[in-house]
Chains A and B, each alone.
Chain A
Amino acid sequence: MSLRDVFEKNPDRRYIMFGGKGGLGKTTFSATTAYWLAKKGFKVLVFSVDPQASLSDIFQRDIFGKGPVEIMPNLYAQEIDADRRIKEYQNEIRHKIKDMYGLEEVPEEIESYIQATAAEPAMEESAIFDAVVDIVVGGEYDYYIYDLVPLGHALYYLSMASVYDEWISKITQLRQEMQEYSQVAAVMQRSKETEEDMILKELLYIKERINTSSGILTDKQKTAFFFVLIPEDMIIIDTQKAASLFAKFNVPLSGYIVNRVIPQELAQQDIPEYLRNRLEMQKKYLAKIDQTFGNEVLGWVHEFERDITGLQMIERLAEEIFGR
């Protein structure tokens, strides 16, 4: 099976993700897949949730924080500016407080709390994944390609999502009980109906958002997750570990792509010792990859003579991966 087959045989899988350690080519494959799908006539959005995003670099255009930018017909790219999103969100909360209570200024105590939240480590992940929910529920595109953050972040978010979900269910329960008590008091005092609990409403909204974002990551019908690796021992071991962790969180793994393979034909030529050693090393680890991942490997991509930036190079790579 090749990468092309996976796409053609599973037309329902519209959320595509590439994962792997940093610097192995996730962005490259995201961009290339987006390019290929766009050429086939699908409307594609490739977006990055990485604060050090490199979509701008690969498309050679500054798209950071600018919303979806059209790169070529049918192909849109977006880099989420998490910092700005957090600031806007905080301002929204400040406005809401001022509006609700007719205040000129947010009370000092509350203000310092709002400011402190920005420093929380989980804030950025939450903001990013919340932004992703906004993008995905929009449903404007045929394909959504996640240029995923390095493995750690994704795992962190997945585990966070399941804990949050449980936690919010508990809080919601408490809130519902509280409402029952208010109702009892209201009945006893024969007063009017209690007013609608806005907090309960917000909690249910939060729960839905978290479920949507983690739901997409774990939906076998709609999501395809690919691992990118290179023929080196440490990477193989790490990928194996990550794959088993992802499997625990029910992320649907669709296969592996081996990047940076030095063409074996070079061995027949007169090449320096250094390159010959690299070739030997890769041969060994390619065999190991074959042993470990077997027919889950969807493609081997050779090392290009230069880096992949700009649409011309992306086109060349797309031809290599998906064929003409």
Chain B
Amino acid sequence: MSEEKKEKKPGFFDNIKSVLYGMAGHDMARFALKTRGSMEHLFILITMGDLLGIPILPPYYSLRLLPYVVPQISTWKRRMLREKDLTDALA
């Protein structure tokens, strides 16, 4: 988006776009991000499985990936080790 456009007050079509995004796009974006989040956890499981005692990828190579997943490790562990109940299905 160019700067000129940014400063302008949102026009009629911009408003329509936002409404449409709210109606359709937002849910899709949320779903895409949620799926991506689950995949991220799956990814950490198959590369860093050793952290839970499941050796999958050879450690020499998983070490190379470790720095990039450091922030996700704790949420991932919580998710993997948490007990599941019925309400999970609704989340």
Contacts and interface: CB of A to CB of B under 8 A. Distances in A.
Interface of A: 89-90, 93, 96-97, 100-101, 107, 109-110, 113-114, 116-117, 120, 122-123, 126-127, 130, 160, 164, 167-168, 171, 174-175, 177-178, 181-182, 184-185, 188-190, 198-199, 202-203, 205-206
Contact of A171 (B29, B32, B43, B55): B43
B43 A101 contact: no
Given A117-B63, A126-B58, 10 more contacts: A89-B63, A101-B70, A109-B77, A122-B59, A168-B57, A171-B47, A171-B57, A181-B35, A181-B39, A185-B32
B26 interface: yes
Contact of B43 (A89, A97, A109, A178): A178
B54 to A, nearest CB: 13
Given A126-B60, A188-B28, A93 B50 contact: no
Contacts of A122: 58-60
Interface of B: 21, 25-26, 28-29, 32-33, 35-36, 39-40, 42-43, 46-48, 50-51, 55-71, 73-74, 77
Contacts of B74: 109
Contacts of B60: 89, 117, 122-123, 126-127, 130
Contacts of A107: 70
A97 to B, nearest CB: 5
Contact of B55 (A120, A182, A185): A120
Nearest to B58: A122
A107 B70 CA distance: 9
Contacts of A190: 21
Contacts of B50: 113, 116-117, 120
Contacts of A113: 48, 50-51, 66
A174 B28 contact: no
A205 B46 CA distance: 18
A178 B36 contact: yes
A94 B2 CA distance: 42
A93 B68 CA distance: 10
Contact of A164 (B36, B55, B58, B71): B58
A198 B68 contact: yes
B73 A110 contact: yes
A304 to B, nearest CB: 40
Contact of B26 (A96, A116, A130, A188): A188
Which of B51, B57, B63, B71: most chain A Cβ within 10 A? Answer: B63
Contact of B64 (A120, A182, A184, A206): A206
A100 B21 contact: no
B75 to A, nearest CB: 12
A198 B70 CA distance: 13
Contacts of A93: 63-64, 66-67
A17 B3 CA distance: 64
Nearest to A98: B67
A77 B65 CA distance: 33
Nearest to B48: A113
Contacts of B48: 113
Contacts of B71: 101
Contacts of B68: 100, 198-199, 202
Given A181-B33, A185-B32, A126 B61 contact: yes
- Return the 10 tightest CB-CB contacts between A and B, nearest first: A126-B60, A188-B29, A117-B59, A181-B36, A185-B32, A184-B32, A188-B25, A96-B67, A120-B59, A185-B29
A203 to B, nearest CB: 7
Contacts of B33: 181-182, 185
